Chain A
Amino acid sequence: MLENVSGINSSTALWYASRATGVVALLLLTAVVLLGLLVTRQGRLPGLPRFAVTGLHRNISLLAVAFVAVHVLTAVADTYVHIPLTAAVVPLASEYERLWIGLGAVSLDITIALIVTSLLRRHLSRRLWRAVHLLAYASWPVAWLHSITSSADMRHGWMFLLAVACALLVVVAVGWRQSAASRDVPRAERVGLLMAAVHGRDRASRR
């Protein structure tokens, strides 16, 4: 009886699992992007030192990858629609929802590149790592499009609002990052400003 009420039974479990992990993965990836933007500005979260923000960014990205892995494997294992394993990484290799699943594959490929280069970061030049890491700005919108287009769930109701909220958050955060960067003090002038500030404050507080 219960099975009928929820719609989940042994033949649909994988499908539901795939959809659910997909939604969670989108939320986690959104968090990763927001934290990444915070890291680029050396920002802090209340109660956390700076290095913890970097650690959070890294760990949530690994968690997101775990969810994406389950999302992909359950979709492949599910027999209701046929999605070959290759379609997870090769764009347009799926008969079912060819273009929309293909977007997911593109996003996953970029994400794998981001993770691999970050794990090997010690051995790579900073420039190469950074060049690859900038692809995150392409990966997230593609993943978002994939979420919206390949799932009917996310086109309606509160799930749709959730997707819109994610997009808005990312857009606002990117805008904040850009405007903050444009207000940056040129490198050569930073130390002088700080010296003036520190010595000035010192004198004032001793008065």
Chain B
Amino acid sequence: MTTATQGTPTEGTATGLPRLLPRHGQQPEDWYAHVARVGRLPYRDAPGRLISDLQAAGLTGRGGAAFPVHRKLAAVLEAAQARRRPPVVIANGAESEPASDKDATLLWLAPHLVLDGLQLAAEAVGAEQAILYTHADRRNDVGRRLRQAIAQRQAVAVDRVPVELAEAPPRFLAGQETALVNHLAGGPAIPTFTPPRITERGLAGAPTLVQNVETLAHLALIARRGPRWFRQVGTEAEPGSMLCTIRRSDGVPRITEVPLGVPLRALLAGPGEQGLREGAVLIGGYHGTWVPAAEAAKLTLDNHGLRRAGARVGAGILITLPQDRCGLVETALVVRYLALESAGQCGPCLNGLPRIAAALAELAGARPRRGTRANVERWAGLVTGRGACHHPDGAARFVRSALTTFAAELGRHERGRCGATDTTPFLPVPHDPARTEQDWI
């Protein structure tokens, strides 16, 4: 397994994939390789024109929320025209989920596709300013790679709107839209209450469009190849493809582009692996949902198909928990991390998540007290829907799904036993919580 990239891209399963990442190799694409692969940048030469194509394509945000892209662009364009204020466009590459690597991989291997999308989105809403917001290096020097790419584009004079680079602090919430705007305005990367929506009043009061970097890459291809091409893969309701970060029991992240609606069974068991009969699968990352493997094997990767398991596609994170690990221990470690990543603003999140984390640590140990499980369920209900952002909601969903999926394991712990034979943590969890305000800036 090569480690030249953040994750390891693998060939997709359907014809015509991968669309976003270079088909072969791990080598980052320069401008010329990029143009040779996907063609020149098809500017539309006026705001608004791309939006109907995006609507016909049915592209939704790939950052996790799956919001229709054309509606966001139309809202920003409308606000900009109504208030006669040029909007700002921000490419969001602050992929804060520790288990996700798809945005970093995309930026590393195909930065020009993202930068194309940023230019086209800027043109579509009439923006005069564009920002690319990413985390600092995880493994590769993405920042340096992007500076080179931007310099190369300047040399060939392809960009019509200047692009600035901005670095996100290493916080879980740094990619949340309002936190991102706060950070770019010079403050801490903490979420604020809406309204006002940032599409109305965002950075410095300007209408602001924030799109995930993968979304912009899809947008750049739709602008070239049209909505019908985009709909050749995926489902009728959720067309297109998406990048997934898949971790099977070996723990190695694989970045794969798959059509929406693909059976999870095809993604989670490697060739020759049996898999997916016992154990559990985490769908959607640390704000996502644990699903028993037997149930996950019957699901497809689209929000409609995942709904019956209470899960969502999110940012395309799929993790198989090896059978030698304890789901409760893993969940407790992640929830501790989520609690430490609370912005500390809203009472239910600030007070609730640490308690839930402590209770889960107890459930993950031997012979937890009676009532602790009921407490966790009650507190999970109390924090849901009561924050400026969805951090408490996502954490609560994750915790609740763990309690049902690992019910048998809970019973073992009550008897003082644990099903794990390997106690090394499996899910990636950063160990550098914020201590001062500076850690948020």
- Which residues of A approach B to under 8 Å, CB–CB? 42, 50, 122-126, 186-192, 194-195, 197-199, 202, 206
Contact = CB atoms under 8 A, between A and B. Distances in A.
Contacts of A191: 339-342, 344, 350, 353-354, 433-434
A188 B439 contact: yes
B358 A188 contact: no
Chain A binding surface SS class: helix
Contact of A194 (B195, B345, B351, B433): B351
A200 to B, nearest CB: 9
A194 B350 contact: yes
Contact of B436 (A186, A197, A198, A199): A186
B345 A187 contact: yes
Interface of B: 188, 190, 192-193, 195-196, 201, 336, 339-345, 347, 350-351, 353-355, 357-358, 361-362, 369, 433-437, 439-440
B9 to A, nearest CB: 36
B361 A199 contact: yes
Q: Which 4 A-B pairs have the closest CB atoms?
A: A190-B344, A198-B358, A194-B354, A188-B437
A42 B348 CA distance: 12
A126 B435 CA distance: 27
A124 B340 contact: no
Contacts of A197: 354
Given A187-B344, A191-B339, A125 B354 contact: no
B379 to A, nearest CB: 11
Contacts of A206: 362, 369
Contacts of A186: 436-437
B339 A126 contact: no
Contacts of B353: 191
A126 B434 contact: no
Nearest to A124: B195
B350 A190 contact: yes
Contact of B354 (A124, A189, A195): A195
Contacts of A198: 354-355, 357-358
Contacts of B358: 195, 198-199, 202
B181 to A, nearest CB: 13
Given A188-B437, A198-B358, A125 B196 contact: yes
A188 B361 contact: no
A20 B15 CA distance: 83
B347 A126 contact: no
Nearest to A202: B358
B347 A42 contact: yes
Given A126-B192, A194-B351, 7 more contacts: A122-B195, A124-B195, A188-B188, A191-B353, A191-B433, A195-B358, A198-B358
Given A188-B440, A190-B350, A195 B340 contact: yes
A50 B347 CA distance: 10
Contacts of B342: 191
A191 B191 CA distance: 16
B200 to A, nearest CB: 10
